[in-house]
Amino acid sequence: MFKQYENRRAIAALIAVCIIWGTTYLINKLGVSSMPPLFFTSIRQLTAAILLLMYLFLIKKLAWPDRSFIKLQLVLALLLISGGNGLGIYGLQYIDSGISAILATFSPILIAFLLSILQKDHHISKWTWLGLGLGCFGILIICLQKIGMHPGKASIVGIGFTMLSIITWAFGSVYSKIKKHHYNPFLSAGFQMLFGGIPVLIISLFTEKPWNFQIETYHILIWAYAIVLGSLVAYSCFIYSLNHLPVTLVSIHTYINPIIAILLGALLLGEIINFWILIGAIVTLTGVYLVTKHS
């Protein structure tokens, strides 16, 4: 189904995003369950940014970017990292990791809607719309089952912050696609994580008092996974795929992530997977197939 795309690296990057970010929902949940959430995510993003930028500037010897690059990355950082990631992590305090991943599947619909409004020459085929609709319907089945089994955990506060994060992420994805550029995607990822992590850390210092938090080996392991795989690898792959593939296609990771998150929850946390959750997964994957084939 990917024969139409010459850039196989972009497809491989997208597959990595689908798998890794599916696992990081569980890691993030473990993180916010034992650490101040904004402090957890800001340190994760800033550490990943510093490591990536040091590699690019000191080892790869990349030139310092121009002012237009900095301005673009600042806007994207506020939308994708501060808003999309920061708000989502904060909301994860109140809801299950699987439900958080499930709610994120509304992002492709919003992205497709925004593109149809902002780009007059952007045409979304009926098959793509059908795929998006099936994806959301399948996720809705799963969501209703999860909320039905754990009604108290799906709080309004958690869902509210998660939906706000989805909206900012969708706007960031579309803005990145509209502002066509040829910047190094890894350099873009590094600056976005840097610019996006700073305001989240400032908010954390004023609201969470993280200096009272005692760091243990358990927390370092969670951070290491989130930094190396969740930020350095997966986010760089996301930016790379976003620069080389249709944004509607890239957004299918939001369909794959919740299925992986739910499976991990069942294997590691003993969460129940019933008949309707399996049906929802099948419907969702059918939607993914249609989107990838007809985007």
Whether pTM > 0.75 for this model: the answer is yes
φ, ψ of residue 252 in degrees (nearest 5): -70, -15
Tell me 179's DSSP state. S
CA dist 26 and 121 (Å) reads 39
CA dist 27 and 233 (Å) reads 15
Q: What is the pLDDT along the chain (295 residues), one digit of tens a residue?
A: 444 545 788 999 999 999 999 999 889 888 888 889 999 999 999 999 999 999 999 999 999 999 999 999 999 999 999 999 999 999 988 887 877 887 887 787 788 778 877 877 767 788 888 988 888 898 888 777 767 766 665 567 888 899 899 999 999 989 988 887 778 888 999 999 999 999 999 999 999 988 787 888 888 999 999 999 998 899 889 988 988 888 778 878 888 888 898 888 778 877 677 888 789 888 888 887 787 677 6
Over the stretch 36-48, which tens digit does the pLDDT of each residue have?
Answer: 999 999 999 999 9
Is the Cα dihedral 280, 283, 287, 288 positive or negative?
A: positive
Over the stretch 212-228, which tens digit does the pLDDT of each residue have?
Answer: 878 888 889 999 999 99
* In contact, 197 and 49? CB cutoff 8 Å: yes
Residues 6+ apart with CB under 8 A from 49: 190, 191, 192, 193, 194, 197, 231
* In contact, 179 and 79? CB cutoff 8 Å: no
CA dist 75 and 81 (Å) reads 10
Over the stretch 145-191, which tens digit does the pLDDT of each residue have?
Answer: 767 766 665 567 888 899 899 999 999 989 988 887 778 888 999 99
The residue with tokens 């997964």 is: 281
